[in-house]
Amino acid sequence: MKNIKGLLFDIGGVLYVGEKVIPGATEAITVLQKKFPMRFLTNTTRRTPLAMVEKLHRMGFSVKAEELFTALDATKEYVASQNGSVYTVLTDEADTWFSDLKSDKPDFVVVGDAYLNFNYTRLNSAFKLLQEGAELIAAAKNRYFKDEDGTLSMDAGGFIAALEFAAGVEAKLIGKPSRNFFHLAVGSMGLPPEEVLMIGDDIVSDIQGAQDAGLKAALVKTGKFQTSDLETDIAPDVILEDVTELSSLLL
């Protein structure tokens, strides 16, 4: 780890779980910020990027808006780059992020973690639009996440897979583990991927995704981590009990 010059952090499950900060996480980030440039990546799509920054500040993390890379932001930027319009399957809050790109005849169907908005009416409307030629975008395609009650809950992945199956299409993935998403964050620090360490709790989206993008990857045993993650063919470069162990590893 001697050649590591920049850090990428997953947020939920690494810095906090639900509304509870991982003990010692704020102090650990403060210490590391003195030596390393860092970016914070999240596939969380229930909340807007602005709300994510506010939550981090409320929890005591000193994070600038430009240091946050969200799947929603990247999705909106992609749609805008294509001069496209959207129909969304998102929460009411996240839906507002795309209010200026809405259309009755959209170019894209954007799906994220819609929570209670995952219902037949909403999904069937998306299905019909896909049949009419709209392209499917998965803002994020995680299978599950660690919920506030300490158990795993379904994420958007299963619902996106259902639309893919029903409509006979393949979704374009924007967030993790998309290589482009990792490279966007790494590029903003002016560093090559091999000099950046990704810290995450998702063995596929965070660890395998980062390694496939040329980064080093550290798996934390918090958040959605399960012991069965260590039985896969994915081998993290480092395994940590939690994010607080980073200081002794890198400093």
Output the tens digit of pLDDT for each of the chain's 251 residues.
Answer: 889 999 999 999 999 998 999 999 999 999 999 999 999 999 999 999 999 999 999 999 999 999 999 999 999 999 999 999 999 999 999 999 999 999 999 999 999 999 999 999 999 999 999 999 999 999 999 999 988 888 999 999 999 999 999 999 999 999 999 999 999 999 999 999 999 999 999 999 999 999 999 999 999 999 999 999 999 999 999 999 999 999 999 98
8 Å CB contact between 206 and 234: no
Q: What is the pTM of this model?
A: 0.90
- Token couple for 207: 């660890």
Starting at the earlier edge strand, list the strands of the sheet with 86-89: 86-89, 108-111, 135-138, 172-173
- Specify the DSSP class assigned to residue 178: -
Starting at the earlier edge strand, list the strands of the sheet with 216-220: 68-70, 38-42, 6-10, 196-200, 216-220, 238-240
